[in-house]
Amino acid sequence: MGAQHFDIAIAGGGLSGALIALALRLRRPDVSVALVEGGAAIGGHHLWSFFATDIADADRALVEPMIAARWDTGYDVAFPEYRRTLPTAYRSIASENLAEAVARAMPGDAVLTEAPVETLDAAGITLRDGRRIAAGAVIDARGIGAAQLPALQGGWQKFAGQMLELDAPHGVTRPVVMDASVAQHDGYRFVYVLPFGERSLFVEDTYYADDPALDRDALVGRIADYAAAQGWQVKGMSREETGVLPVVTGGDFAALWRGAPTGVALAGVRAGLFQPLTSYSLPDAVRFASHVAALPSLGGPAIAEASHQYARAHWQRGRFYRMLASLLFSAADPGQRYRVLQRFYRLNDALIERFYAGRSTTADMARVLAGRPPVPLTRAALVLAGFGTPASLDTDTTS
């Protein structure tokens, strides 16, 4: 079979890969791009949510067409000893909207689904069925690989979420980004609630846990219990998703990249482009897509080198967040981890916005660390000195 040929081929049609393809189509329409996804649909079956302040003005045109819901009246957080409403606007992108944006922007023969990758190299992608996608540049955006996990240290954020359809209006007017007033299980637990319509709520049960094992039935049962406690009468469920994401306290950047084929660029979570403490990848996915589209040269060696340099700078900026993740996992008892976030949410609105966007200033870092820590002092001192971090996220922990 003859190979299809493109200027750039992207392996992985999730958030990062699709955003790179869209940014290139928007800003470099003369460049041919292929997007190759192993699953049944571009974007899979996910909701990605973010604060409006996470996205630079120059990048809003890339994101706006995909927004499925927006809330401009702020959001709520709740903890056992503290509650607060913050003013920052909130947004959600649904995977269906991402897939529709890709379908509008790209020729049909440039988007492949149900096309698992067998191998890739600097000259193209070979699919499991033997087809070859030849390209002048290749970007691997397939998500973190099992061989990369031993390069990272930390814990896990795991969750189950359901879109609940109710038989009466729920009365929730703002997102509840973190309700940690619930009973604590398996580390730090909170519930996340998004009102998508007057009778539709997306409810997610989330844990910062030492173990990646996800008991879907237990989490779904707790979602039902939470809904019942709020007095919501559930008549159905229209979507469900689960996930297990790394929370990074340390690691070896060079080892994270060591297995990448020579001349192939990495992107998204595979490149380590996410906020280490929140596992939050959308702001970095948007920024990196914009960065790629602005490169003066879109040849393979240029993109591969640019991705490595970009990811290295991101890793260096993430040191502060990795330290905070260490405080959460190593200095706090699992049932008391909520105190770290409870203290954090008493801080300035703008500081919290910059934190979620991964853009904390030196002054922000000093303010977060000032005063008595909400964890035992001896443990905090050990973590800040570089001791007591969790184990590597090796492949054995995910079996």
Q: 19-39 burial, b if ≥16 CB within 10 A, otherwise e?
A: bbbbbbbbebeeebbbbbbbe
Q: Can you read off the two tokens belonging to residue 269?
A: 């979570």
Residues 277-309 have pLDDT tens digits of 999 999 999 999 999 999 999 999 999 999 999
- Distance CA(118)–CA(125), nearest Å, equals 8
Q: What is the pLDDT of residue 389?
A: 61
Q: What is the pLDDT of residue 399?
A: 28
- What pTM was estimated for this model as a whole? 0.93
Beta-carbon neighbour count of residue 169 at 10 Å?
11
Residues 85-132 have pLDDT tens digits of 999 999 999 999 999 999 999 999 999 999 999 999 999 999 999 999
Distance of alpha carbon 384 from the chain centroid: 26
- Distance CA(188)–CA(114), nearest Å, equals 36
Whether residue 132 is found in the same domain as residue 270: yes
Whether residue 343 is found in the same domain as residue 206: no
Would you say residue 74 lies in a domain? Answer: no
C-alpha dihedral, 310 to 122 to 119 to 315, nearest 10°: -10
What is the average pLDDT across 37-57? Answer: 96
Would you say residue 85 lies in a domain? Answer: no
Lowest mean pLDDT among 10-19, 193-202, 325-334: 325-334
Whether residue 174 is found in the same domain as residue 278: no
Would you say residue 80 lies in a domain? Answer: no
Count of domains for the chain? 3
- Distance CA(72)–CA(1), nearest Å, equals 52
Of 224, 18, 16, 221, which Cα lies nearest the Cα of 111?
18
Whether residue 126 is found in the same domain as residue 255: yes
Whether residue 226 is found in the same domain as residue 272: no
Whether residue 138 is found in the same domain as residue 179: no
Q: What is the pLDDT of residue 122?
A: 97
User: Tell me, what amino acid is at 281?
Assistant: S
Would you say residue 236 lies in a domain? Answer: yes
What is the average pLDDT across 20-28? Answer: 97
Of 341, 80, 69, which Cα lies nearest the Cα of 202?
69
**What residues make up the domain containing 187?**
153-248
Average pLDDT taken over every residue of the chain: 93
Q: At what angle do helices 15-27 and 95-105 cross, to 10 degrees?
A: 30
Confidence band, pLDDT 50/70/90 cuts, at residue 376: low
Phi-psi map region of 272: left, alpha, beta (phi>0 left; psi -120 to 50 alpha): left
Whether residue 209 is found in the same domain as residue 256: no
> CA-based diameter of the chain, in Å?
66
Of 322, 342, 343, which Cα lies nearest the Cα of 153?
322
Residues 377-395 have pLDDT tens digits of 566 555 655 656 666 776 4
Would you say residue 75 lies in a domain? Answer: no
Whether residue 241 is found in the same domain as residue 261: no
Confidence band, pLDDT 50/70/90 cuts, at residue 398: very low
Would you say residue 215 lies in a domain? Answer: yes
Transcribe 340-369 into DSSP letters. HHHHHTTS-HHHHHHHHTT---HHHHHHHH
Whether residue 14 is found in the same domain as residue 60: yes
Residues 319-345 have pLDDT tens digits of 999 989 988 888 788 888 999 999 999
Of 82, 2, 51, which Cα lies nearest the Cα of 340?
82
